[in-house]
Structure 1
Amino acid sequence: MAQLAAFKIPEIRNEPMRSYGPGSTDRQKLEEALARLDAQAPFDVPAVINGKEVRSGDIQPQPMPHNHAKNLSNYHAATPEAVTAAIDSALAAKNDWENLPWADKAAIFLKAADLIAFKYRYDIMAATMLGQGKNAWQAEIDSAAELVDFLRFSVKFVEQLYTQQPSENSEGVWNRTEFRPLEGFVLAVTPFNFTAIGGNLVGAPAIVGNVVVWKPSPAATYSSYLVYKIFLEAGLPPNVIQFVPGSPPDIVKQCIDHKEFAGLHFTGSTHIFRKLWKDIANNIDIYRGYPRIVGETGGKNFHFYHPSADIKSGVVQALRAGFEYSGQKCSALARAYVPRSLWEGGFKDELVKQAKSITIGPCTEFEHFTGPVIGRPAYDRITGIIEKAKAQGGEILAGGKGDDSKGFFIQPTVILTKDPKSITMTEEIFGPVITVFVYEDKDIDATLKLIDTTTEYGLTGSIFGQDRQALAHASAALRNAAGNFYINDKCTGAVVGQQPFGGARASGTNDKSGSISILYRFISARSIKENFIAPSEYAYPSNLV
């Protein structure tokens, strides 16, 4: 199609976050959305293939974590035939989507962002709260602000990407670069804990011209479905992204066994990601090319407190990092290293007192700082690990108990350990559990080494202190221990466009979502040289005698 201008997108800034204070219009509208969705549940969620709803009859539940007797949605698990149709439909759409002018693609995602920010803000927040157990603030920073940021900043970053052209041209030559989408389709496997991650895992490949098969988390089915419908309302052609809920291992295997599989965009467990990498490697001979594998997985994230750290701030940052959303963030604090001077000088008392003051409850009761864990398997795993920690000699300073009678609630738990390699210092928990190891003030270097080598992960971490030389020393010692590193701030809360997110080691491929870097993984550049001066003979001057 003709491109008749070089377009410039609107100025992109981070979406302002709303506070939902008592008596505010935002609080009122969110409460209305919560009541409406709760009354209408369970919602019937089909697979959507080529824009058409497909109901297999194999109906699977998405229970509400705070009230597990009630389902937010019942979704139709995609059959193998439906997955095949989804792949075929995506591939059939590839040429038209790739060739749609960039301005039209940009308009779709900018409109989707505005639809989420305004028309559907409260609905998508309510779906995230009821279905994934978030309170109002956690839903706001995720399904509203971050999702909007992902979409808008992706447009901004693609505009920047397309302007990156060769700086040199020989006489009579014009050099240029095209950033092609991958050949084939991308499989996006998305997690339960962030609605925004689901939108970004499909949005980032699609915005640079790829077609995508979306396998949403069973525990986030309804919010993912809403995001998908918003994309369609924004003008996304219906066959560019295929929505296929259902059995994760079966759907994923069928996709990665396909010759046209071109890339995996994944957020989930380290164990599953490693298995998928091996499965893809074993299939390498069947593919058209080498599939791109992009993944963000687990973490065993840390806070290191120097003896010069401020106690009050340090405690507040630990509580927020460890217990917001019941510790179900990839970046959540799991292990804290506190010097004895601080621990005995007030850190312990303040941490325990404040941890015990935290209330937990359903998302419909706004006063609670945190809520349930996502479901039965998570509840059983987390409470089981707490019991193992106690059996290994860990001292429960706060929390340690759960109640699954109505919802899957686990008290914010603080464990004191004398063994820096105990189970809760090494094994990912993904729940509201912070384990503290008290080190001797003289053992700073040994403690830094311990932090760096105790686990296989490298996602997030923080250091606290007022001694600048000590902070610089700790930062250097922990250079490879975290892909997102914070100084005097908690280890959670990365913002799109400000702190690109991702870790290395067992935590993933560190491709940095929320930055231009992630987009490079879903394009295949073509260098083009055009010659304007025709040569008159084949011989070069050096051939003459």
Structure 2
Amino acid sequence: MSKAISQVPFAQNEPVNAYSPGSDEVKSLISTYKKMWKEKTEIPMIIGGKEIKTETKIQLTSPHDHHHDFGFYYQGDMSHVDMAIEAALAAKAKWNALGWEQRASIFLKAADLLAGPYRDVINAATMIGQSKNVHQAEIDSACEFIDFLRYNVEFMTELYAEQPVSDPGVWNRVEYRPLEGFCFAVTPFNFTAISGNLPTSMALMGNVVVWKPSDKQIYAAKVTMDVLKEAGLPDGVINMIFTDGKETAERVLAHPDFAGLHFTGSTKVFQGMWKMIGDNIHHYKSYPRIVGETGGKDFVMVHHSANIEAVATALVRGAFEYQGQKCSAASRAYIPKSIWNQVKDLMASQIKTIKIGSPEDPSNYVNAVIDKNSFEKCKAYIDRAEASNDANVIIGGKYDDKKGWFVHPTVIETINPYYESMVEEIFGPILTVFVYEDENWESTLKLVDTSTPYSLTGSIFAQDRYAIDEAYKALENAAGNFYINDKPTGAVVGQQPFGGSRASGTNDKAGSKMNLMRWVSARSIKETFVPAKDYKYPYLG
């Protein structure tokens, strides 16, 4: 047991490498990428610290070259889900008993490993498996993941330090116990950092975890497990499985020791899992914690006083970075008629210079969407807009799947604020713009707030402070992360805790103390130093 009140290293955001042309850092990363691209990587499940291989091998191909085979993973079945649950529960008592300083050390070491010897490796794995360019990989799989690990340790100590007051003769205290049972992490393809944060944030607080990463993110997930093993994470604390999503959910969520779900993915899947939990509520030993970040239809609301260059740049960055596959990507914009032509021309001139292709070339700004389903979905939205009476493709609209799943940055203009691509989540490089009459500013604010079921991110552009204040109030519930004169993407751990409500999730704010609170169960303790010896109170005489 520790004989000190330890202070963890002060958390700071990891500096982002610029990867300037010809720099040593870009040469090192691209060299690692090329080496890993040629390898045939074998990825087993990790259950109880052991590599688990099966008869079923699933080939891994890259989104920007779907003919290229860079390895395979071993697919499991429900017996492996059972194994993972058993391994987690077997590891629980010892992990729970470990001092918080020891847990902190593991994840702080993991952060330093990612910042150092594993930086190129996890970035290259993300580039190959998820088709991110050097900058998008750096800000995600390196910097944001590192930030989650370091800041979560700091947030944990702040949480543990929150203690009640005590009257004379009494010592009151609170301890923050891990949840009883095991936790389940279900993670997405689009952010390696999110994929790593969901299981590690729960484990940091003393919980044991069954982790099911997206089958499109398995390469970087493997690197994450390699880092955690080298950092000293004990066997069985986090168990990584590659199994059918629906069957796995049914198996896990029916277990009496299921204690918590940490989820990022689609709204429909999360709602289905919530229903399963409700249907099984009478089986559980305790009420499970349910945390989810799901879909978004993120907006940019523009006032006629806005800086035109800032609006155009925010739309190009917000809509098309990582091919619009960020939960927070700018997907719908409301622009006043008086400045629309200027904004449109500036966007068109910027988009014309965008290069599209493999992440191996660092000058490519846009890469491929994640898979064939995503490609076909984007293609269908573009084709329907081309044929629509309510909408028109005004920029881009090209797509090509000969080698990779490439969809060019596309802007659709619509006269219908409820047109499908204005209200439905697409998750691709497609921005839809509704042009409104300047005098309809107030009614357009209502449209922004009410026309979709989501409430994840959004931004307002204006120079007029009264307009900013009006939008700030009118859109109070329209976004969990609200930006003023900035794009609606790019939340930084420790600076802008991330999450939304309505159909976008439970708004438990990943990268904050609020999120960690969900993975503990508090126990209040009162110790009386000199207890009463007579039942009579003074009023009894």
**Both proteins in one fold, TM over 0.5:** yes
Match of 2:519 in 1: 522
User: Structure 1, residues 158-205: CA drift from partner, whole Å, max 9, x if none?
Assistant: 0100000002x1222111000001111110000000000011001111
1:501 maps to 2:482: no
Q: Summarize the alignment of residues 438-453 of structure 1 with structure 2, pairs less than 5 Å apart.
A: 438-453=435-450
1:363 maps to 2:362: no
Instruction: Select which of 305, 308, 321 maps to 2:305.
Output: 308
CA contact (8 A) 2:39 2:71 kept: no
Same amino acid, percent of matched pairs: 50
How far apart, CA to CA, are the structure 1 residues paired with 2:96 and 2:381? 48
How far apart, CA to CA, are the structure 2 residues paired with 1:391 and 1:263? 46
Match of 2:8 in 1: 9
Instruction: Select which of 387, 390, 397 maps to 2:386.
Output: 390
CA contact (8 A) 2:77 2:244 kept: no
One-letter identity of the residue aligned with 2:22: G
How far apart, CA to CA, are the structure 2 residues paired with 1:71 and 1:281? 41
Q: CA RMSD in A?
A: 0.9
The two structures have a TM-score, normalised by structure 1, of 0.98
Count, aligned residues:
540
How far apart, CA to CA, are the structure 2 residues paired with 1:72 and 1:491? 34
How far apart, CA to CA, are the structure 2 residues paired with 1:45 and 1:74? 6
Match of 1:36, SS state, is: helix
- Larger mean CA deviation between 383-392 and 235-244 belongs to 383-392
Instruction: Select which of 110, 115, 118 maps to 2:116.
Output: 118
Match of 2:59, SS state, is: strand
Match of 2:62 in 1: 64
One-letter identity of the residue aligned with 2:358: P
One-letter identity of the residue aligned with 2:39: Q
Match of 1:85, SS state, is: helix
How far apart, CA to CA, are the structure 1 residues paired with 2:285 and 2:333? 47
CA contact (8 A) 2:38 2:70 kept: no
Match of 1:183, SS state, is: coil
Q: Summarize the alignment of residues 125-164 of structure 1 with structure 2, pairs less than 5 Å apart.
A: 125-164=123-162
How far apart, CA to CA, are the structure 2 residues paired with 1:263 and 1:232? 23
1:343 maps to 2:340: yes
One-letter identity of the residue aligned with 1:267: T
State the 1:365 CA deviation. Answer: 1.2
One-letter identity of the residue aligned with 2:49: G
One-letter identity of the residue aligned with 1:502: G
Ranges of 4+ aligned residues in structure 1 off by more than 4 Å: none
User: Structure 1, residues 191-220: CA drift from partner, whole Å, max 9, x if none?
Assistant: 000000011001111100000000010000
How far apart, CA to CA, are the structure 1 residues paired with 2:385 and 2:202? 42
Match of 1:21 in 2: 20
State the 1:390 CA deviation. Answer: 2.7
Q: Summarize the alignment of residues 87-486 of structure 1 with structure 2, pairs less than 5 Å apart.
A: 87-167=85-165, 169-344=166-341, 346-393=342-389, 394-486=391-483
CA contact (8 A) 1:73 1:222 kept: no
* Structure 1 gap ranges (5+): none
CA contact (8 A) 1:352 1:414 kept: no
CA contact (8 A) 1:459 1:502 kept: yes
How far apart, CA to CA, are the structure 1 residues paired with 2:494 and 2:60? 32
Match of 2:216, SS state, is: helix
CA contact (8 A) 1:326 1:370 kept: yes
How far apart, CA to CA, are the structure 2 residues paired with 1:24 and 1:192? 29
One-letter identity of the residue aligned with 1:135: N
How far apart, CA to CA, are the structure 1 residues paired with 2:289 and 2:388? 42
Match of 1:81 in 2: 79
User: Structure 1, residues 355-375: CA drift from partner, whole Å, max 9, x if none?
Assistant: 233221011111111100000
One-letter identity of the residue aligned with 1:194: F
- Larger mean CA deviation between 74-83 and 233-242 belongs to 74-83
* Structure 2 gap ranges (5+): none
User: Structure 1, residues 278-329: CA drift from partner, whole Å, max 9, x if none?
Assistant: 1110000000011111000010001011000011111011000000000000
